[in-house]
Structure 1
Amino acid sequence: MPEKILIIQTAFLGDLILSTSFFHAVKMEHKESEIHVVVNLGTESVLDNNPDITQIWCLDKKKIKKNPFAFFQFIQKLRKEKFDKVYSPHFSYRSSLLSFFTKAKIRIGYKESGFSFLHTKLVSRPKQGPHEVEKLFALLFEPYDYPTGRERRPYLFPSAEEEASYLTKKNKLIKNDSGYILIAPSSLWETKRMPEEKFVSVITQILRKKEETIILIGSKADQAIEEHIFRLMKTEPLELKQRERLLSLIGKTSLKELMVWIQNAKAIISNDSSPIHFASAFNTPTVMVYGATIPAFGYGSLSDKHKILEVNGLGCRPCGIHGGRVCPEAHFRCMLDQNPVRIFEALEEVMKP
């Protein structure tokens, strides 16, 4: 019987994308094993076609919060699989409980996780310093043995269907052969979002000084941001042919379609959010804008060509691991002091051959 390994990663979408390099590493170390992964319901599509994964288990967090009995039903399903080993790269109390109740003999997790005593082997996870993929690799390797190069970057596998959808939409939307630059103006956390006015300034510079089409990306929840940007753009002194090169796919792509758009982009500009990690998977040149959070948390770009834009000298940064809804100091200088000229210059730099 092949060894059965469970990996529990029910964090945000960006964390799951970064974890795919860990899934690959586990599979390479245990080539004959079955690799099962527990993810947060709604994020699982980014793992489609992943050859490293045998089975995906979707945990409905909203459901189990309302009905604790559903959590124990989920545990029972996992226990029936009789896993030999569990890796828990998520550090919530719930993940530690899931790991423990599988009854696997080997359960590896972080010292800093909730209910860490339920693991059989503990690994330190520093809050700042190493990149997130190195924190993940620590569960599997000694530091001197961490994978390098391509194996650090995420593994995403869009299908032929998404490729075909991309080509159809691209041919309809883009009218020149100069390629396109993606801009991701949103984030789940408000203090990680650069104000739309700043993005408008960057967009205007690109439209005036470069030939590429600009495409906004995001989910349906970001449509208010899209509307604000287009409203502000109306006052910018641009020629009609320049304005025509600003398009939007916000709310118009699935996660898997978005992969292909990012894969084929000339570059991407984004806040500290999941599009950065999609870009890392395909080595897309990246400009990353930091506000409430800091690069030392370990979620920066893994693309070979990338630039980080942040406002230094603010004693209030970081104001939280995820940022927050409002600036606790009520000045929001970490984003209001961002310089659009510097962002454009960084874009020029990462786009150099």
Structure 2
Amino acid sequence: MANVDRAQVPRRICILRLSALGDCANVVPTIRTLQAARPDAEICWIINRAEASLVAELPRVECLVYDKHGGRGAIADLKRQLAGRRFDAFLNMHASWRANRISLLVQADRRIGFDARRARDAQRLFVRERIPAVASRHVVDGFLAFAAELGATEPVMDWRVPIADDDRAKARELIGDDRRDILFISPCSSHTRRNWLAERYAAVADHAIREHDMRVVLVGGPSDLEKQIGTSIEMAMSEQADNFIGATNLKQLIALFERGRLLVTPDSGPAHMANATDITTISLHAATDPRRSGAYRSRRFCVDYFAEAAAQYRDATPDALKWGTRIEDDDRVMALIPVEAVTERIDQAMVHPVSKS
């Protein structure tokens, strides 16, 4: 890599980013950037158990798994794993009180946290350095600033994680021999008030089938809520969809996305996991600002009603709100997004696929 002084990029690096699934997916380009700048880097990542199932097999990355439900025992276990270890640099990429407490277990020559806009919960008291202010609002660019602070200034925009042959075989089994372009709908976020209405997903699905001869596949996790919403979408549709909600693990879901044309989803883990593939993601935003958390590689296809939500619920413009503001006041926030705004994005994407450069 040009213009990188590898002697300045530290070798032993500890990253703290516990959750959430989408944020952990968005840390991967930072790891790729550090590895490209310093191939012999030893990267240790402190991460929650669920999120580790997505990234634990990244090459040359050691995951120290923290069980957030484990109470004091989980802290003691992590302390044992870190005993006697010292790092050249500690990147505290998670601003929360829980992360602050965990950060005290890490011994490092440099302790780096977020800039003033991104930091919260008094993170500044637990670090010695802070990344410089980042003009972009997006979380990915904030994460990459940590790599730049260590001397790795040429971003590697690569979200890929290892996918086992068995996981790809599972995806092939589910998809079968149907050769139609696939629209995946992942209807749920872990923040339920980011979820769109089932009948509107159904209208979008019917549009994709009728206007573009697409196959519609519903995907998601195994929770009762996700299964309920999937059933509600099917019942509201005039056409027919395949419902694979609860049928895949995280790696198998990515393997499915590798075989798809479009993904429609709220601001959710799958929206950011999909950056690892060539699928075009149409992420739906009213509760959150797409400038911060839109699907990074498909940002021009985001459906953005955050300004309308800010005006209605905060009597403000998005720029007047604090970075990271969520407008999750009630179930009507996402109802600000009309069906036509999403079908228009589908029509645009089918004619002009997103550039994945």
- Partner residue of 1:193 out of 192, 195, 201: 195
What's the CA shift for 1:124? 4.9
- Partner residue of 2:172 out of 167, 173, 176: 167
Mapped partners of 2:288, 2:157: distance in 1: 22
What secondary structure, in the 3-state scheme, does the structure 2 residue paired with 1:269 have? strand
- Partner residue of 2:286 out of 291, 295, 309: 291
What's the CA shift for 1:42? 1.3
State the identity %: 20
Distance change in 2, residues 1:152/1:323 (3 Å): farther
The aligned runs of 1:1-353 (5 Å cut-off) are: 3-53=11-61, 55-64=62-71, 68-111=72-115, 112-113=119-120, 114-124=122-132, 129-141=136-148, 146-148=153-155, 151-171=156-176, 176-221=178-223, 222-233=226-237, 236=238, 242-243=239-240, 246-296=241-291, 298-304=292-298, 306-311=300-305, 312-314=307-309, 315=311, 316=313, 321-324=325-328, 326-327=329-330, 332=332, 334-352=333-351
The TM-score normalised by the length of structure 2 is 0.83
What secondary structure, in the 3-state scheme, does the structure 1 residue paired with 2:95 have? coil
Mapped partners of 2:308, 2:172: distance in 1: 45
What secondary structure, in the 3-state scheme, does the structure 1 residue paired with 2:83 have? helix
What secondary structure, in the 3-state scheme, does the structure 2 residue paired with 1:77 have? helix
How well do the aligned residues superpose, as a CA RMSD in angstroms? 2.6
Aligned amino acid, residue 130 of structure 1: R
Mapped partners of 1:142, 1:84: distance in 2: 13
Q: Is this contact kept in 1: 2:308–2:336, CA < 8 A? A: no
What's the CA shift for 1:250? 0.3
The one-character-per-residue Cα deviations of 1:3-40 (angstroms, maximum 9, x if unpaired) are 42211110210000000111111222332121111111
Which residue number corresponds to residue 6 of structure 2? none
Aligned amino acid, residue 15 of structure 1: D
Distance change in 2, residues 1:184/1:70 (3 Å): closer
What's the CA shift for 1:146? 4.5
Mapped partners of 2:141, 2:42: distance in 1: 23
Mapped partners of 1:42, 1:321: distance in 2: 25
Mapped partners of 2:123, 2:337: distance in 1: 40
Mapped partners of 2:129, 2:217: distance in 1: 46
Query: For structure 1, which runs of at least 5 residues remain unmatched after alignment?
Result: 237-241
What secondary structure, in the 3-state scheme, does the structure 2 residue paired with 1:342 have? helix
Comparing 193-202 and 338-347, the one that deviates more: 338-347
Query: For structure 2, which runs of at least 5 residues remain unmatched after alignment?
Result: 1-9, 353-357
Q: May I ask how many residue pairs the two structures share in their alignment?
A: 327
Mapped partners of 2:143, 2:131: distance in 1: 10
What's the CA shift for 1:194? 0.8
Mapped partners of 2:289, 2:136: distance in 1: 10
The TM-score normalised by the length of structure 1 is 0.84
The one-character-per-residue Cα deviations of 1:39-61 (angstroms, maximum 9, x if unpaired) are 111111211432241x1111111
What's the CA shift for 1:207? 2.0
Q: Is this contact kept in 1: 2:280–2:298, CA < 8 A? A: yes
What's the CA shift for 1:290? 0.8
